[in-house]
Amino acid sequence: MKEVSGGVCAPRGFRAGGIWCGIKASSRKRDLALIYSEKPCTAAAMFTTNKVKAASVLVSMEHLKGGVLRAVIANSGNANACTGEAGIAAARKMAGLAADLFAIRPEEVAVASTGVIGVPLPVAAIENSAESLADSLRADESGHAAALEAIMTTDTRKKDGAVEVEIDGKPVRLGGMVKGSGMIHPNMATMLGFITTDAAISRELLDKALRRAVKRSFNRVTVDGDTSTNDTILVMASGMAGNAPIAAEGPHWEIFADALEHLCVTLARAMARDGEGAARLVTVRLTGAATEDAAGTLARAVASSNLVKAACFGADANWGRILCAMGYSGADFDPAAVDVGFASCAGEIQVCSAGVAAPFSEEKAKEILSQEEIEIVISAGQGAGAATAWGCDLTYDYVKINGDYRS
């Protein structure tokens, strides 16, 4: 596997673009994005688990039932959520506008929105800019970058990537972009995520690979414990790499699934690092659990704990908060078998052994925890289950950002 440039435009057959159309009056950044495939794509997606779902989610869920997509149109600045039937009509209008640009069916277009909830979507602004949006499409890094900017809201860093692997003797590429830095929690972190690939793969195996990748990446990232109304992650496979279609599990599927997981982990880590107001990326590595699922539950509980996150902000080696979070996670483990340590570029230190305090230097612990990327290393001492979760510290700036988000 090797890293390549181009994001969603790295795989064969895809173009992307983004423009400003004026969805949010107070902003002049790009706010309308489009990704287009020159050939019909096998498609799979996962959506928010929130009972309150945005119009874009409902329409895209309906369109994904066919398993084929040609395009994704997405806006920022307005979530088009809690907007009633008018919101559904607006989401369908967005799909229709994109479909008309390429003479394809609206059902071959996915729709995504992000921004303020409860405000009617100014769909006329999108309609008036449709031709300009089509003109912005490029099959290179510039098109990818424009589309990525157009889906960002409070994000301060770009979150994208692309990889290449060999399957059936053919180079196969996967590229992706996500937005999200607040309202992020497991069970689909708050995000819009779009992944393209030129692999030839059946819908069933594409869906299985996506679900495995999401379980080990986006469902193990947390910023603030909130999940959104708009969460969407979808993947489109053009089949233009020329590999023999992946129609059964085996070595070729494993290569593809591993590449997709690698890309999703890269994107998930970038989301955690860009948590609203965050100063530190926090990685929780947990081994020794009874199963992988138990390890994931324990690791997520630690990464999600506001008390743990606040301690990370203060560079305080308060390991008791870690065991506390494990204790209410719902996963079974033996507290008397737990070891806890911290690690960063400044070194490693053990602070808890067999469930009780281990002698350690507070000064060294503070130095380790004062770095921009820190790790909480936990052994549950029970089995072979292991998992990694990602989060960030909890800072004063998180409240500042979310205190006036609508303005």
Active site residues: 190
Q: Indicate the residue type of 142.
A: S
Please enumerate in sequence order all residues whose Cβ is within 8 A of that of 246, keeping only pairs 6 or more positions apart, or say none: 167, 199, 200, 201, 202, 205, 252, 253, 256
Q: Are 392 and 223 in contact (CB under 8 A)?
A: yes
* Beta strands 170-179; 192-197: pairing state: antiparallel
> Which residues lie below 8 Å from residue 101, measured CB to CB, with a gap of 6+?
130, 131, 133, 134
Buried b (16+ CB within 10 A) or exposed e, 257-294: bbbbbbbbbbbbbbbbbbbbbbbbbbbbbbbbbbbeeb
What is the C-alpha separation between 4 and 49, in angstroms, rounded? 32
**C-alpha dihedral sign at 372, 373, 376, 377:** negative
Residue 286 and residue 283: Cα distance in Å, rounded? 10
**Helix, strand, coil shares, percent, the chain, to 5:** 35, 30, 35
Residue in the block written with tokens 């193990």: 220
The rounded distance, in Å, linking the Cα atoms of 135 and 59 is 25
| Alpha-carbon span 369 to 322, nearest angstrom | 14
Matching residue, tokens 């998992």 = 387
* DSSP H/E element including 41: strand 32-47
Those residues with Cβ within 8 angstroms of residue 384's Cβ, 6 or more apart along the chain or in another chain: 288
